[in-house]
């Protein structure tokens, strides 16, 4: 009798596992561009949260809006952007005043990875709004337009709550015609955490009679904001290597350590 009960119990357990297993072992999909979809945005629209979109080398003339948990991998995924060579997956923003961005991460999106692209756009070429993002191994360059003047930076991180890592990128707004464009600007508020680590932030634009760009600008925050700026190179910028506004009053924690800041027109770090 005990043997029968044992086998019956095991049969019930196995049956339950068969019902539960499909839901618990569902695998994230890998979507290839342009094999599966011709554009990155079409792949994003079709993807489910947790999927990975692999983008082949080539140029994609579009704006990519990301509103769900996804991993986007370019041809150089995993390769440090600083000084690299080889074929790139290029996201080239349209030259329109209504949307000058190449990548926009919408408010509330979480667990997003953008890895291994070359991104070309105007101010706000990459715009991250109150989201959880890893932005790693990307080259970001300007396209010589004057659009996006409200963002004042090539890569713009704003609002809150936010958790963003910016690592191993080469960010340079050299070609932007409108002066005062920073390589990277952090304008977060609330319970925000931003790590800027091991990047090149350089050649921000300047004008003899107008505003001048910096490698990094930190311009917002409050007591719940933590920002760490570590091991970056900030150089050849039209104004400062780095500047802050209201730094003594608005940040819970602002740490700047291990950075090489040199050959900027004005001061290395301006604390305001």
pLDDT value at position 16? 41
49: alpha, beta or left? (left if phi > 0; alpha if psi -120 to 50): beta
Strand partners, 126: 103, 155
The token pair that represents 4 in the structure block: 């029968």
CA distance 15 to 62: 49
pLDDT value at position 107? 87
pLDDT value at position 110? 93
pLDDT value at position 41? 97
CA distance 231 to 167: 10
Report whether 197 contacts 228 (CB < 8 A): yes
> What pLDDT digit, counting tens, does each position of 165-180 carry?
999 999 998 766 555 6
pLDDT value at position 250? 60
pLDDT value at position 54? 98
Which ranges of 39-117 would DSSP assign to H, the alpha helix? 40-46
Strand partners, 216: 184, 242
pLDDT value at position 5? 43
CA distance 248 to 162: 21
pLDDT value at position 97? 57
- Coil, strand or helix: which one is 110? coil
Question: Taking the model in full, what pTM does it have?
Answer: 0.86
Strand partners, 118: 90, 139
- Coil, strand or helix: which one is 97? coil
Cα-trace Rg, the chain: 22
pLDDT along the chain (272 residues), means of 10: 45 45 66 98 98 98 96 98 97 74 91 97 86 96 63 82 93 70 86 93 75 82 83 93 72 88 91 76
CA distance 260 to 226: 21
The token pair that represents 151 in the structure block: 């963002």
How many other β-carbons are positioned within 10 Å of the β-carbon of residue 266? 14
């Amino acid at each position: 009798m005990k043997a029968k009960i044992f086998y019956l119990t095991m049969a019930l357990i196995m049956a339950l596992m068969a019902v539960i297993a499909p839901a618990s072992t569902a695998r994230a999909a890998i979507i290839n561009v342009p094999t599966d979809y011709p554009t990155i945005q079409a792949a994003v629209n079709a993807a489910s949260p947790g999927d990975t979109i692999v983008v082949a080398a080539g140029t994609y003339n579009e704006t990519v809006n990301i509103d769900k948990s996804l991993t986007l991998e370019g041809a150089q995924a995993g390769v440090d952007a600083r000084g690299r060579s080889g074929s790139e997956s290029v996201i080239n923003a349209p030259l329109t005043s209504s949307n000058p961005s190449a990548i926009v991460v919408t408010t509330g999106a979480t667990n997003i990875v953008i890895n291994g692209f070359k991104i070309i756009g105007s101010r706000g070429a990459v715009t991250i709004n109150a989201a959880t993002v890893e932005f790693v191994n990307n080259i970001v360059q300007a396209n010589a337009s004057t659009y996006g003047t409200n963002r004042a930076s090539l890569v713009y991180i704003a609002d809150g709550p936010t958790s963003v890592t910016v690592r191993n990128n080469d960010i340079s707004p050299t070609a932007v015609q409108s002066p005062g464009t920073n390589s990277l600007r952090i304008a977060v508020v609330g319970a925000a955490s931003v790590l800027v680590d091991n990047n090149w932030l350089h050649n921000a634009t300047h004008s003899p009679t107008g505003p001048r760009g910096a490698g990094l600008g930190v311009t917002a925050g409050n007591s719940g904001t933590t920002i760490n700026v570590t091991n970056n190179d900030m150089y050849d910028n039209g104004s400062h290597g780095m500047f802050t506004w209201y730094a003594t009053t608005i940040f819970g924690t602002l740490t700047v350590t291990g950075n090489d800041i040199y050959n900027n027109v004005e001061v290395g770090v301006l604390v305001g």
